[in-house]
Structure 1
Amino acid sequence: MERRKFIGTAAIGSLGIVSCKAATASIDDSQNKDFVLKNNINHSVCRWCFNKIPFEDFLKTLNELGIKSIDLTGPEEWPLMKKYNIHAAMCWGAGKGIMEGWNDPKLHVELIADYKKIIPKVAEAGYTNLICFSGNRNGMEDKVGLKNCADGLKKIMPLAEKHGVVLQMELLNSKIDHKDYMCDTSTWGIELCKEIGSENFKLLYDIYHMQIMEGDVIRNIEDNHQYFGHYHTAGVPGRYEIDETQELYYPAIMRAILSTGYTGHVAQEFIPKKDDKIDSLKQGFLICDV
């Protein structure tokens, strides 16, 4: 399932998902004996990539692996996550998805109301990060869209600051996966951060997307890390496993992230091709566990 289709349907889908042998989520201790993490990286994983596994089974597996966090979940999922002591490193639950976002002033009234509802819920649950999106260009100039985003987001920043919630706009590629998306380069996103001027607004630096759009990943992280509040991984090309089949060398990228003093989470957001989805996930964690 594509992520854009998963947004907004996660709660419904998780109720009706049937487990299959290839996506078995429960693994015994003998299978984990070689899975030992250094935990210099705070590991997380995006829920939508493993949505074929029933949610509670997936949480049990994360506990067995010693992974303490998960990305892209909303209020309807948080009670079950708390049962298994799994943190929500990147929350969602507000907005109209990827294609309709803050660059459209006609949506500001709706978006502001929506985010004003969810920001206190994020804080009350004990979480920090809340995702947001620029929306598609639809013929709009980037400078106009940047100003529109800043004008709208500034109206909710005082509430975010009051509750200690950090809004994070995700950088996505507009070449392959999200045609016409506006916040598609770190340069544009950084200018938005400067315009908003709040420590409670950051960029979700998706390594997969930015490799497609601009490359030079390590240099960008080293030079601009103060604007990046969260990281996602995936293999290029294809968004598959982050192994030797793709062009990025994640151990070096993880070392660059650590060298900046970053203490947040790095979430696996690849779509596993292998039959054993959990084995792919374990591999991804170990590759990043520098």
Structure 2
Amino acid sequence: MMRSGFDRRRFLAAVAFGATYAVSRGVSARGRLRQGLTPHLFNQDIDDTCRMAQALGIQGLDFVSNPADWPTLKKYGLAMTVLRVDYGGGISTLARAPAGPAGWNAIGTPDLDGQFEAALRERIDAAAIHGIPNILVTCGVRGNLSYDEGKRNAIGFLQRVRAHAEARGVTLVMENINSGHSGGPPAPPGSMFDHLPWGLDVVVQVNSPRVKLLVDLYHAQLMDGNITNFLRQNIQWIGHFHTGGVPGRHEIDETQELNYRHVANVLADLDYRGFISHEWTPSAGQDKLAMLRKSIAIIDV
């Protein structure tokens, strides 16, 4: 639900005040890591979302999938960090796209009519023209497929499109999703790419500088743990990160089991140059703006 005009003005004023206070305290999201966020955190129109992100020192937004919104990001000096290929073309930044036909953005399953591959190729061209560095791909659910069958499907799909991505300088980032754990937003049961080693094997076999992992740290902690060892060993295969507190996918502070300040320091020490984007929802009763400022400061190493 959109905020009323009064609430909108109050929230914008609070963001502006909070950003000024943060800068005065030396907290500006301009540390060694580049930070982004997903627009649902604000639940506002695109202009207000960009204004708020800029005021907080955020440098980019994920999943602004409608090309009509891209000039607004540029107006505020924000990067469009990850493009999602939504079924039906340009989709509202606050809406989930329709699921699409079988195989749509589910590269571990057969793309029976090739619609997603064709749409992805078109979006690779658009991303190159507009300076968008990454495009999201996901692997779908296993259903009757085994992990090995899904891996063959994913590798085959990425092998078909890798040359196009390489030629256009756009990176395909493949995201891990947990298999139905409770305690947060519903996840699909039987997610194909639910364990990091599975996805790592896919991108290593494809072996392209333009095919990498999008490591969602919330999903990874639920399914695998051992996060920083994985990062130290495999950072060259990772192109983007999402954050979220475990277990409820809330703010990433000390109430959560994953030490995000430590994770951020590890990434900075590894000279990670991509984005780490906030993709969580504040706990019930928490002030959204205060939680955003605190979480940004945690990553601002």
| TM-score, length basis structure 1 | 0.87
Task: Return the alpha-carbon distance in structure 2 between the equivalents of residues 94 and 53 of structure 1.
Answer: 20
2:258 is aligned to 248
Q: For residues 31 and 64 of structure 1, do their structure 2 counterparts lie closer, same or farther at Cα, with a shift above 3 Å needed?
A: same
2:289 counterpart residue number: 278
Distance 1:48 1:93, change over 3 A: farther
Say whether residues 1:232 and 2:249 are aligned partners. no
Could you tell me which residue of structure 2 aligns to residue 45 of structure 1?
37
Say which SS state the counterpart of residue 27 (structure 1) adopts.
helix
Post-superposition shift, 1:86? Answer: 1.1
Residue of structure 1 in register with 2:277 after alignment = 267
Pair 182,28 (structure 1): closer, same or farther in 2 beyond 3 Å:
closer
Task: Name the amino acid aligned to 1:278.
Answer: L
| CA–CA distance in structure 2, aligned partners of residues 279 and 185 of structure 1 | 32
User: Alignment RMSD, CA only?
Assistant: 2.2
CA distance in 1, matches of 2:274, 2:247: 26
Give the deviation of 1:122 after TM superposition.
Answer: 0.6
Q: Which of these residues, 205, 210, 230, is aligned with residue 200 of structure 1?
A: 210
The 5-angstrom pairing of residues 1-290 of structure 1 reads 17-19=2-4, 21=7, 24-27=11-14, 29-35=16-22, 36-37=27-28, 38-50=30-42, 52-74=43-65, 75-94=67-86, 100=104, 101-107=106-112, 109-176=114-181, 177-273=187-283, 274-290=285-301
Q: Which moved more, 1:72-81 or 1:234-243?
A: 72-81
Q: d(CA) in 2 for partners of 1:76 and 1:184? A: 33
- CA-CA distance at 1:166 after TM superposition: 0.2
Q: Alpha-carbon deviation of 1:178? A: 2.7
- Contact 1:44–1:266 (Cα < 8 Å) also in 2: yes
SS of the aligned residue for 1:136 comes to coil
Amino acid at match of 1:287: I
* TM-score, structure 2 normalization: 0.84
* Aligned-pair CA distance for 1:33: 3.3
Distance 1:80 1:29, change over 3 A: closer
SS at structure 1 position matched to 2:172: strand
Please report how far the alpha carbon of residue 31 of structure 1 lies from its aligned counterpart in structure 2 after TM superposition: 3.0
CA distance in 2 between counterparts of 1:267 and 1:106 reads 29
Letter in 1 for 2:75: K
Following the alignment from structure 2 to structure 1, what is the Cα–Cα distance between the partners of residues 151 and 17? 52
List gaps (5 residues or longer) in structure 1. Answer: 1-15
Residues 15 and 56, structure 2, Cα contact 8 Å, conserved in 1? no
Count, aligned residues: 274
Q: Secondary structure at the match of 1:272?
A: coil
Kindly provide the CA deviation profile for residues 80-129 of structure 1, in whole angstroms up to 9, marking residues without a partner as x.
Answer: 21122211111112567598511222436111111111111011111110
Check conservation: 1:25, 1:278, Cα contact below 8 A. no
Q: What is the alpha-carbon distance in structure 1 between the residues aligned to residue 276 and residue 163 of structure 2? A: 27
1:8 — aligned with what? none
Aligned partners of 2:35 and 2:275 also within 8 Å: yes
Distance 1:106 1:130, change over 3 A: closer
Deviations 1:215-238 (A, max 9, x none): 011111111111111111110010
Q: Percent identical across equivalent pairs?
A: 29
The code of the aligned residue for 1:184 comes to D
Structure 2 distance, partners of 1:225, 1:262, is 7
Kept in 2: contact 1:73–1:93 (CA 8 A):
no
Aligned counterparts of 1:108 and 1:211: Cα–Cα separation in 2: 35
Give CA deviations for 1:42-94 in whole Å, capped at 9, x if unaligned: 011112333x2232112111222222211121123212211222111111125
Q: Which residue of 2 aligns with 1:7?
A: none
Deviations 1:211-268 (A, max 9, x none): 0000011111111111111111110010001112111111100011112221111111
